[in-house]
Amino acid sequence: MSYKLTPVALIAMALYASGACAEETGTPMFSFSGFGTLGLVHSSEDKADFTSSYFKPNGAGYSHSWSADVDSLIGGQVTANLTPQLSAILQVISEQNYDTTYRPHVEWANIKYQFTPDISIRAGRVVLPAYLVSDYRKVGYTNPWVRPPIEVYRLIPISNSDGIDASYRVRVGELINTMWGSYGKSESRHPAGGAVKAKSLWGLSNTVEYGPLTARIAYLNANVTVESVKALFDAFRQFGPAGIAMADKYDFANKPFSFLALGASYDPGSWFIMGEWGSVESRSVGGKAAAWYVSGGYRLGNVTPYVTYAQINPDNLSDPGLNVSTLPPSLAGPATSLNTALNSLLSSKPSQRTVSVGGRWDFTKNTAFKLQYDHTRIEAGSTGILINTQPGFQLGGKINMFSATIDFVF
Amino acid sequence: MNRAGFIIIGLALCLVAAEAVADVVAVVSAKNPVTTLSKSQVVDIFLGKTSRFPDGSQAVPIDQVEGSAARDEFYLKFSDKSPAQIKAHWSKIIFTGRGQPPRAVSNSIEMKKFLNENPNAIGYIEQSAVDGSVKVLLSQ
């Protein structure tokens, strides 16, 4: 398909082309649904910000003692059932953007063709199903926690892809197996400047459901560019073969990137336990990282207390950089600055473990209130998941966070 | 007693109250050839995990309206899920465009009428509302 056809244009075309042929099916042609979260977060670390997404510019801690930007969002969705086989969906979300605005963005916009109840293809902006809860990671009401465990969910911060996907469901007795594949690309603006681009973004996943048990494996692959680090590695390339070798090792320009995830959940109704493990690898400053979590909860009527343990372990958090002692004095200064900048990027790779306890209270129809306490231990040499580190911030250390949200669907 | 204690006792009373609701049974039209379904087969149809009866014919689930005692009792009995869990289940499906929840009718009388006109539909009604127009699939 041509990328000149934006997802929105595709949907508009389908709407015009298909007219109102859905009437005879008895299902409404258009349906509107919405969801949202109002959240407040406090962090004990006041020399850096905690936030929920790689693409958010600030959060709780340094910028705000209590931040509403970390979790708050509102989303609306129109689904058009054009024929029994053909449907279109447009989902728009307003949340804190890279530039601190709440300008709405298109989260999904695609046309789906359902060949049979078990085989479908979609074209446009579709979900990037990296995780167990990828399909609805932004719909707080559907999840037990205030937010999906950040150690694991930050490995793949993007949530959608512009392209096509296909899914195929097979039923064998009580077992349901769903295979999924996609191809596309993605581009997101980052607070540090420029965009994060994923080209040739393809993925495969397989999900098995057997009664209350769900198990899943997913693999994603892309060529990723992080534009904000380009200038640094261009500068390294000025320092001869040693500088070029550094730049080749660490730059993030069209670098192969892969992701593998395994996950399972068991939810017989009155309690649940789930866990996921994920691993990313790229020959870049991002390097390698593996993360996992285990979470469980027990439903006492309308109240669901839960506990989660999560951790992320990256590879190197520092590098000696250019050998300054062999350089003439006029170049030693700039080289030292580059080494410092490189090490600052490496130390910003999260290395931490978190214990979370919380509760969800379904206090009224379609609305849940959640409280969550997180205790995070950041490993030596890492900023953890924190951003906007200020003078006086110490690498490593412990933080306590307190979050409250109201999640709703309508 | 502290507030948490009150909440727990209140919740326990709610559960007792729910148990006291008249028994709900899964039904199809008397014209539907299907005779028995397991609990999980019924649940899979209502939660959108399959759109077919075991014999391969189309199965169209029909709910009673949100907030009705029959609906809450049906899901609690068949899937051990609360109304909030069912809402969360459908939110997961709606917000990625994978489907829409079943159509809903307002009570057991409407349900029987709908099933009679749509032999491929499956619904649930109070045991006391069962008559010759419907066939009980699973009764406990």
Collect all residues from A whose CB is shorter than 8 A from any CB in B: 26-27, 31, 33, 35, 75, 77, 79, 81, 87, 89, 91, 108, 110, 112, 117, 122, 127, 135-136, 139, 141-142, 171, 174, 176, 209, 211, 268-270, 299-303, 362, 365-366, 368, 409
Q: What is the pLDDT of residue B68?
A: 94
Domains in chain A, number: 1
Lowest mean pLDDT among A94-98, A192-196, A282-286, B9-13: B9-13
**Does residue A91 sit within a domain?**
no
Q: Which residue has the tokens 């469980």?
A: A296
**Does residue A364 sit within a domain?**
yes
Tell me: the pLDDT tens digits for A202-229? 999 999 999 899 999 999 999 999 999 9
**Does residue A288 sit within a domain?**
yes
Burial class (CB in 10 A: 0-12, 13-18, 19+), B5: exposed
With cut-offs at 50, 70 and 90, classify the pLDDT of residue A1.
Answer: very low
Interface test with B, best of A85, A114, A176, A366 (most B CBs within 10 A): A366
ipTM above 0.95, yes or no: no
A278: CATH? 2.40.160
Which CB contacts under 8 angstroms, 24+ apart, belong to B105-111? B105/B62, B105/B63, B105/B64, B105/B65, B106/B64, B106/B65, B106/B68, B107/B64, B107/B68, B107/B70, B108/B64, B108/B70, B111/B27, B111/B62, B111/B64
Chain A CB contacts of B103 below 8 Å: 26-27
- Decide if B92 and A35 are in contact by the 8 Å CB cutoff: no
Q: How many CA atoms lie within 13 A of B10 on its CB side?
A: 10
Tell me: the pLDDT tens digits for A343-402? 999 999 999 999 999 999 999 999 999 999 999 999 999 999 999 999 999 999 999 999
Measure in Å the smallest separation between the Cα of A316 and chain B Cα atoms.
37
Domain that holds residue A291: 35-71+132-409
- For the segment B94-118, the average pLDDT, to the nearest whole number, is 92
- For the segment A304-326, the average pLDDT, to the nearest whole number, is 95
The four Cα atoms A177, A181, A186, A188 give a dihedral, to 10 degrees, of: 10
- Decide if B40 and A211 are in contact by the 8 Å CB cutoff: yes
**Does residue A117 sit within a domain?**
no
Q: What is the pLDDT of residue B8?
A: 52
Q: What is the pLDDT of residue A289?
A: 97
Residue B130 pLDDT more than 50?
Answer: yes
**Does residue A314 sit within a domain?**
yes
With cut-offs at 50, 70 and 90, classify the pLDDT of residue B4.
Answer: low
- For the segment A334-348, the average pLDDT, to the nearest whole number, is 95
Collect all residues from B whose CB is shorter than 8 A from any CB in A: 7-8, 10-12, 14-15, 40, 44, 49-52, 66-67, 79-85, 87-89, 91-92, 94-98, 100, 103
**Does residue A94 sit within a domain?**
no
In 3D, which of B116, B17, B118, B101 has the Cα closest to residue B63?
B101
Q: What is the pTM of this model?
A: 0.87
Interface test with B, best of A114, A213, A362, A406 (most B CBs within 10 A): A362
Structural domains of chain B, ranges and CATH numbers in brackets: 23-138 (3.40.190.10)
**Does residue A260 sit within a domain?**
yes
- Select the residue of A77, A171, A303 nearest B95 (Cβ to Cβ): A77
Show the tokens assigned to B51. Answer: 């759109």
Q: How far apart are CA A197 and CA A210, in angstroms?
A: 37
Q: Helix axis angle, B39-46 relative to B69-79, nearest 10°?
A: 130
- Decide if A142 and B7 are in contact by the 8 Å CB cutoff: no
Q: What is the pLDDT of residue B6?
A: 52
- Select the residue of A33, A300, A362 nearest B84 (Cβ to Cβ): A362
Chain A CB contacts of B7 below 8 Å: 303
- Select the residue of B11, B51, B83 nearest A117 (Cβ to Cβ): B51
Lowest mean pLDDT among A148-152, A282-286, B54-58: B54-58
Tell me: the pLDDT tens digits for A171-197? 888 899 999 999 999 999 999 999 999
**Does residue A52 sit within a domain?**
yes
Residue A23 pLDDT more than 70?
Answer: no
Chain B CB contacts of A209 below 8 Å: 49
- Select the residue of A136, A268, A302 nearest B96 (Cβ to Cβ): A136
Q: What is the pLDDT of residue B5?
A: 53
- Select the residue of A127, A209, A409 nearest B49 (Cβ to Cβ): A209
With cut-offs at 50, 70 and 90, classify the pLDDT of residue B49.
Answer: confident
In chain A, the residue whose alpha carbon lies closest to the alpha carbon of B97 is A89
Measure in Å the smallest separation between the Cα of B92 and chain A Cα atoms.
6
Distance of CA A403 to the CA centre of its chain: 19
With cut-offs at 50, 70 and 90, classify the pLDDT of residue B40.
Answer: confident
Q: How far apart are CA B115 and CA B27, in angstroms?
A: 9
